[in-house]
Amino acid sequence: METVYVVINLAVLLMVVGLLVYMQKKHFSFSKRVFTGLGLGIVLGAVLQMVYGAESEVLSQTGAWYDIVGRGYVSLLMMIVVPLVMVSIIQSIINLEKSSDLGKMSAWIIGILVGTAMIAAVVGIGSAGLFNLNADQIDAGQAENDRGQMLESTLSDVENMSTPEKIQSFIPSNIFLDMTQQRPTSVIAIVIFSIIVGIAVLGLRRKNPEQAEVFTKIVNSFYAVVMRIVTLILRLTPYGILALIANMAATTDIAGIVELGKFVIASYVALIAMFIIHLVLVGLFGLNPMTYLKKVMPVLGFAFSSRSSAGTIPLNIQAQRNSLGVDSGIANMSASFGATIGQNGCAGIYPAMLAVMIAPSVGIDPFTPGFLIKLVLIVGISSFGVAGVGGGATFAALIVLSSMGLPVALAGLLISIEALIDMGRTALNVNDAMLTGTLTSRILKKLNLKTYNDKTAIQQDISA
């Protein structure tokens, strides 16, 4: 009988997919199809949980089939990340007018990413104080205790790696290993390797222009093919989001959300506040915030449902270049670095809120100037260094809490709502990468204002 129910659930998914296909044939915009998939996915997932229950075997089997569409789409995006980053950055450097532009570009990108992470820490502190968050208010069950023990065991791995070792881990020693993305710093290593190749071509162009020209033609050909692959994969975005969000909604722990509702609300208040700050920064640089918002929303919708900053890199780059008018080289670097450095949600807001929440449990007043200044500085440093241990909110929290002398095990209290909060954190992380690319292009006077202000340039070529 379970098999029959699973087949029915699959049939429902196919019906919704059919609706999205119909919308595409009727030339509905990419944004409308993405958010239709997101909305229908939430409804479908909620209905499945109400009918079968979050822990049912039927729902487990249904989720496995839905993952073919959802996680399969994420896998396709991850597949194209390495060739996209490599070819795009090499091509961008080859086309630079001055090699000195590379240094300026990198400095602004990293500076904005880390700077906004420190601002995010202040926002997280404010939200934690506003809602009076305290770890003593949360009851720990078996799952929370197990999670806490796991965090403590993981801490030893983090503490054993010094800052110089983290930085050293960025440097590629085996580029073919990094192409398999087996290391936490693989994306950054690929970026560094690609930069070296691009600089080498610039040098070759001065000494042997004919060979440099041949290599440039090959790179441009590969770039055209890779971007076409990206376009083909991104056409699947509405279907991927539909399946991802349906599974998320179907398996969300409603009881856990109710119990930890105050932390969930406080987290999203902080995330929304930081998102508004991003829009304010856009306005301060003479750009229309609402135009920016409309153009990034499809990307944020996918980031929200997939919870994968790395998986969003192709969509991120495509949107920056084609929708926001960001310089190609800046778009590639900001999206790549933004997936592991300066993450406003995971490395900024989250660890800062945890620190403020946990401090009273060990007799520390978290709102003394000394504690706050130290916390913001540590968040800024760790938002760069966390890339050396794999990125993500867990490692960021471990680094910040241990550096502040706070018990890391208490972070395990939030396990039941981790997925729900992580959706918003990932969307903010990705938005920060896109903001960084936009502002850097604006500062270096490489932003195509005609494309930015073109209201029709919202992923318009994906269906082409």
Over residues 300-355, the pLDDT tens digits come to: 988 888 888 888 888 899 899 999 999 888 998 899 888 878 889 888 999 999 89
Q: Is residue 317 part of a domain?
A: yes
The token pair at 361 is: 């449990």
pLDDT value of position 413 = 62
User: What integer pLDDT is reported at residue 250 of this predicted model?
Assistant: 86
Is 463 part of a structural domain of the chain? no
Contact 59, 49 (CB under 8 A): yes
- The fraction of the chain above a pLDDT of 70, given in percent, is 85
pLDDT band at residue 43 using 50, 70 and 90 as cut-offs: very high
Average pLDDT for residues 406-423, to the nearest whole number? Answer: 73
For helices 328-338 and 418-443, what crossing angle results, to 10°? 150
pLDDT confidence tier of residue 273, bands split at 50, 70 and 90: very high
- Please count the CA atoms within 13 angstroms of the CA of 50 that sit on its side-chain side: 6
d(CA 454, CA 464): 18
Asked whether residue 218 is domain-assigned, the answer is yes
Asked whether residue 77 is assigned to any structural domain, the reply reads yes
Give CA–CA dist 387/143, Å, rounded.
27
CA distances from 254 to 45, 70, 133, 215, 258 (A): 13, 22, 20, 56, 6
pLDDT score at 93 = 83
Largest CA distance in the chain: 73
Instruction: Look up residue 62 and give its two tokens.
Output: 């249904």
Query: Is residue 404 pLDDT above 80, yes or no?
Result: yes
Q: What is the pLDDT of residue 106?
A: 86
CATH assignment at residue 408: 1.10.3860.10
Which residue type, as a one-letter code, is found at position 112? I
Report residue 134 as tokens. 């305290």
State which H helix or E strand residue 29 sits in. Answer: none
For residue 239, what are its two tokens? Answer: 């279907």
Count structural domains, the chain.
1
Tell me whether residue 111 is in a domain: yes
Measured CA to CA, the distance from residue 85 to residue 77 in angstroms comes to 12
pLDDT value of residue 162: 62
Amino acid 42 reads I
Comparing 267-271, 364-368, 390-394, which segment has the lowest mean pLDDT?
A: 390-394
pLDDT tens-digit map of 128-184: 999 888 876 555 544 445 555 555 555 555 555 666 766 677 788 888 888 887 776
Residue 94: closest CA among 311, 313, 329, 277: 329
Contact call for residues 236 and 73 (beta carbons, < 8 A): yes
| 459 domain residue, yes or no | no
- Predicted TM-score (pTM) of the model is 0.81
- Classify residue 464: in a domain, yes or no: no
What is the domain range of residue 109? 2-453
The pLDDT score that the predictor gives to residue 160 is 58
- State the pLDDT at residue 455: 79
DSSP 269-280: HHHHHHHHHHHH
Asked if 284 contacts 297 with a C-beta cutoff of 8 angstroms, the reply is no
pLDDT at site 461: 44
Closest C-alpha to 263, from 455, 120, 413, 448: 413
Residue 43 domain-assigned? yes
> To the nearest whole percent, how much of the chain has pLDDT over 90?
33
Q: What is residue 251's predicted lDDT score, i.e. its pLDDT?
A: 81
The pLDDT tens digits for 75-88 are 898 888 888 888 88
What spatial distance separates the first Cα and last Cα of the chain, rounded to whole Å? 44
Residues 6+ apart with CB under 8 A from 205: 212, 213
How sure is the predictor about 386, in pLDDT bands with cuts at 50, 70 and 90?
low
Distance CA 39, CA 246 (A): 9
- Cβ contacts of 184 within 8 Å, gap of 6 or more: 169, 340, 387, 388, 389, 390, 391
The residue type at 402: S
Find out whether 144 and 372 touch, Cβ atoms under 8 Å.
no
The tens digit of pLDDT for each residue in 89-101 reads: 888 888 776 666 7
DSSP-assigned letters across all residues of 209-240: HHHHHHHHHHHHHHHHHHHHHHHHHHTTHHHH
Structure token digits, residue 220: 């441009």
